[in-house]
Amino acid sequence: MTNDKAQMTKNIVLVGFMGAGKSSVARQLAGILKRELVSTDDLIEAREGKKIADIFAQRGEPYFRLVESQVVREISGCPGRIIDCGGGVVLDPENVAALKGKGTLIYLKASAEFIYECVKGQTHRPLLRVADPLAAIRELLKKRQPFYEKADIILDTDRRSIEWITQEILKVIC
């Protein structure tokens, strides 16, 4: 297999903060490239038989992270997929190492203000169900930035459309 071919079949792994557009971009990439789409959040919900908000409420965040790491380990070994990661996946260095084994990590980097605009009408994310979501986003983003920046590729997606982000990834990857 040539280097190009190997690169083509590596997993495309999308990481970044909640609301940065990972799931929408992942769906578009999977459609265009005709690749299998895998979402860590969907797999966790299917495995637990409940919504993420209920897992957080009933079992707590540490339990959620445990299941998340199990799911990451299981899905990262098989190449050729588009992997849509929950926003906290990169916090565990072992998750990052596993995903990098057969994948290219792409960080969709957006500002706190842009993220806030994207998520403000939504209620399904437990970490943002707080009195001041913008302040929570700013604080979490600051803490997480060094983890996200471990990605292989960093794409500045502030105020960019899902279509623009998808095309940029295709240019870099293909």
Choose, by CB under 6 A, the member of 12, 13, 14, 18 that binds ligand S3P.
18
Is there binding between residue 51 and ligand S3P (CB under 6 A)? no
> How far lies 79's CA from each of 8, 14, 21, 104, in Å?
10, 14, 22, 10
* H or E segment and range at residue 109: strand 103-109
Is there binding between residue 86 and ligand S3P (CB under 6 A)? yes
| Paired tokens of 39 | 């979402």
Question: Is residue 112 within 8 Å of residue 58, measured between CB atoms?
Answer: no
Is there binding between residue 83 and ligand S3P (CB under 6 A)? no
Name, in order, each residue with C-beta under 8 angstroms of 99's C-beta and a sequence gap of 6 or more: 11, 13, 72, 76, 83, 85, 89, 105
Provide, rounded to whole angstroms, the least separation between the CB of residue 58 and ligand S3P. Answer: 14
- Identify residues 87-126 at the interface with ligand S3P (CB under 6 A): 87-88, 125-126
Choose, by CB under 6 A, the member of 14, 28, 30, 41 that binds ligand S3P.
41
Q: Name the site residues for ligand S3P (rule: CB under 6 A).
A: 18, 22-23, 41, 52, 86-88, 125-127
